[in-house]
Structure 1
Amino acid sequence: MLLKELDALSVLPQTPARDIELERLRKRLETARAELYSRLTPWQRVLVARHPNRPNMVDFIERLFSDFTELHGDRRFADDRAIVGGFALYRGESVMVVGHQKGSDTKQKIYRNFGYAKPEGYRKAIRLMRLAEKFDRSIVVFIDTPAAYPGVESEERGIAEAIAYNLREMMTLEVPVVVVVTGEGGSGGALGIAIGDRILMLEHAIYSVIPPEGCAAILWRD
């Protein structure tokens, strides 16, 4: 209702009275939104973290960085499109940016495997991080994944080993690493690229040892 009133007022000719009323409605909207989000249930918070309009990796790259040059492949098997990474400039400083990419529409989500990274994705990520270390570049990591990909091919190619290897290697990196959980931080899928000097979370992001559906399946067979 408030949004409709705001939209209706916005198209009216600009007058002092209109501007005052617009400001009043904006404040009411901010108050109502803050109250609504303060009463979210745990499941509603999960839905907010998964909202399709939530910014994804590519959005952050476009808005925060310049001169992004994407790097591909793990040099062993394939290029996992669920993990995006490359050099970029942040406020004039060269950094390495790595993170999960879910995709913004159905076609992109399928192309990106819905953000479920496979072993080659984690191996690509650590390859890029070691490359950043070689050139003394800081690393910025964006986390947004339900989990690592649980398919048979992931098991065959060593998903557990890939994640464990990354945990060990990231702990020894000699350059600054900043990790930001932007949406979902699900299980080992998140942790596999989430070891850093600073770990931050956006408001209404989630970070858990297992996706809620997986937890329900194990504990309650639901």
Structure 2
Amino acid sequence: MRFDILTLFPGLFDGYLQQSLLKLAIQNGLVEVNTWDFRQWATDKHQSVDDRPYGGGPGMLIGCQPVYDCVEAVQNEGEQPGQLVMMTPQGRQLDQNLVEELAEYDRLVMLCGRYEGFDERIREGLKPLEISAGDFIANGGEVPAMLVVDTVIRLIPGVLGDETSSKYDSFSHQGLLEHPQYTRPREFRGMSVPDVLLSGNHQEIERWRKEQSLIRTRELRSDLLDQQDELPES
């Protein structure tokens, strides 16, 4: 899968692209990530990309020309154009269902805003899929874009060491939170691993995990249970 990230600060991604699963996925040819600087398409000697908003107000807006030219050039770089995505607080909120939809694309071209955002005509004319990382304001779209990359690559075959891992993540398995998990030692500071996990009875273990997943979801995210069966008593 290919990601093209359009930003004013491509250097923010240098360290991120050299870490953990993403680094391995890139090395193994499963994922390609390219960063592009809007300033490369600026037309004046100062490489200006922003200007004051009409009607007054604080801050600066990223203007149309460098963004349009950048998008058009980047889209022509690949074998086929990608799905254009704009990271914006007004977009569809990122959740696992959306992540699964994004993973179906072969290529995502992601717009990262800064300052007070983009000129409205960028949204109107380019018609990107608008995505929000949550109900908060970040300094720019770069960290939300990293979040999209991080969540999507987990669903690409071959990226995870165990292909079943993503199936049991929170929100992926029946839309519930993940059950508690334990490793060695069996006892730690008066806290013990539940006996059922040491029983070797896989049917009982699966039943316990499902029950704990339901209980945890009820306690921490009851809003996820609208479509779920009635919970067992804890």
What TM-score does the superposition give when structure 2 sets the normalisation length?
0.23
Q: Which has more helix, going by share of residues?
A: 1
What TM-score does the superposition give when structure 1 sets the normalisation length?
0.24
Q: Say which structure, 1 or 2, has more relative contact order (CA 8 Å, 6+ apart).
A: 2
Tell me which structure has the larger Cα radius of gyration. 2
